[in-house]
Amino acid sequence: MRIALLTYSTRPRGGVVHTLALAEALAGRGHEVTVWTLGRGGDDAFFRPVAPAVRVRVVPFAARDDESVGDRIVRSLAAMAAALGGEADVVHAQDCISANAALDAGFAGPGGLLRTVHHLDEFTTPALVACHERALVAPAALVCVSQAVADDVAAGWGRRAEVIPNGVDAARFVGAAGSDAALAWRARLGPYVLALGGIEPRKGSIDLLEAHARLAPGTALVFGGGETLFDYRPYREEFERRARELGVSPVVLGTLAEEEVAPLVAGASVLGFVSTKEGFGLAAMEALAAGVPVVARDLPVLREVFGDTVAYGSDVEGIRAALAAALEGSAPRDGRALAFSHDWRDVAARHEDLYRRHLAS
């Protein structure tokens, strides 16, 4: 099959990681795969090398410091829609921006557009609200990475979604455990609680800050990553204000090179994964592969995906208690077997089956 996968960014967000891994696994099964993306701020390639069997199309998207989030969304849709085209049997968007661009361009394949809902958002910017809604109601078929998100889609929009969980590159994170690079992070930072995805509302960053501040001294709080199309500056300012009030100084690493991520995870004492909304929890699954204990917010979707392999907290005090227990060596059962059960080759096979059924219908 000729398969077009669409994503909104070249940066290492969860949906982008998913898109590239799925593309490579599908190409490994003999399909002709093209990945389309927006190249923000002069990007002309993804955050990591992509297998040569996958064709990559980066649509230029210049940065503008003087525009609102709404204007940026409108401009991104127009830029991507103007570029999309070519022959494809299957067109599969991985986010609301690329889904709307495909709909605007009439780029959908003979069976109509497919869209994966990685998680549901609650936006206030009108352009994003409209983008989110249309990307749920207009595609011909939906995919979700967990049953919990599929249930939310059914309850809120009356649509049935195919559930295909994420894959995980577990071997990469197992290999990082105990590596020189992981030990170097440990030497640089000391014992640390790690959070990935940057400082933003959905990641529950302020709750993690509050919980960590209540721990006994001696363990750093480290934030890594955080590339996003959206403007979270007010939340970041609130985070910094609260850190000053608490008298704490978290380490904010910002964007990381791809080769830095697995050792950083493997060097952590615990991963704080306290998002208020998630679709699967890829970063937490990667931490389990590295043998790092995980403290997660007590959400139905994370109970579904992780079961008893992680510790849960439903509020700041619960998160603090779970972090303290993990730091003292009291962790749930080993989660490596769970991480290895999510193989991208299996995920690709399930997508291939979905695509064939989609075309046949």
237 and 90 within one domain = no
178 and 127 within one domain = no
Give the type of residue at 258: E
Give the type of residue at 50: V
CB-CB contact of 95 with 118 (8 Å)? yes
Q: Taking Cα atoms as reference points, which of 88, 274, 264, 112 lies closest to residue 192?
A: 264
204 and 128 within one domain = no
Residues belonging to the chain = 361
Counting the structural domains of the chain, the total is: 2
271 and 186 within one domain = yes
Provide the 3-class DSSP secondary structure of residue 321: helix
185 and 81 within one domain = no
Question: Looking at the whole model, is its pTM more than 0.85?
Answer: yes
Provide the 3-class DSSP secondary structure of residue 325: helix
Query: How far apart are the C-alpha atoms of 217 and 334, rounded to whole Å?
Result: 27
* Structure tokens given for 277: 């909304």
CB-CB contact of 68 with 85 (8 Å)? no
292 and 204 within one domain = yes
* Structure tokens given for 332: 């749930």
Give the type of residue at 110: P
Instruction: Give me the domain span that covers residue 229.
Output: 170-340
Query: How far apart are the C-alpha atoms of 306 and 287, rounded to whole Å?
Result: 12
Q: Taking Cα atoms as reference points, which of 19, 227, 11 lies closest to residue 116?
A: 19
247 and 174 within one domain = yes
Provide the 10 A C-beta neighbour count for residue 264.
25
CB-CB contact of 235 with 209 (8 Å)? no
SS (H, E, C) 209-265: HHHHHCCCCCCEEEEECCCCCCCCHHHHHHHHHHHHHHCCCCEEEECCCHHHHHHHH
- Domain containing residue 152: CATH number: 3.40.50.2000
Query: How far apart are the C-alpha atoms of 145 and 119, rounded to whole Å?
Result: 8
* Structure tokens given for 72: 């940026």
Q: Can you give the C-alpha Rg of the chain in angstroms?
A: 20
347 and 325 within one domain = no
Q: Taking Cα atoms as reference points, which of 114, 118, 251 lies closest to residue 186?
A: 251
285 and 184 within one domain = yes
196 and 119 within one domain = no
73 and 139 within one domain = yes
> How remote is the C-alpha of 144 from its chain's centroid?
13
* Partners of 93 in beta bridges: 6, 115
pLDDT confidence of residue 70? 86
* Structure tokens given for 264: 């950083």
pLDDT in tens, the chain (361 residues): 999 999 999 998 889 999 999 999 999 999 999 999 999 888 999 999 999 999 999 999 988 888 888 888 899 999 999 999 999 999 999 999 999 999 999 999 999 999 999 999 888 888 889 999 999 999 999 999 999 999 999 999 999 999 999 999 999 999 999 999 999 999 999 999 999 999 999 999 999 999 999 999 999 999 998 766 667 889 999 999 999 999 999 999 988 999 999 999 999 999 999 999 999 999 999 999 999 999 999 999 999 999 999 999 999 999 999 999 999 987 777 899 999 999 999 999 999 999 999 999 8
136 and 97 within one domain = yes
CB-CB contact of 32 with 5 (8 Å)? no
Task: Output phi, psi for 347, to 5 deg.
Answer: -60, -45
Query: How far apart are the C-alpha atoms of 51 and 108, rounded to whole Å?
Result: 24
* Structure tokens given for 130: 């409209």
Helices 258-267, 282-289: crossing angle, 10 deg rounding:
60
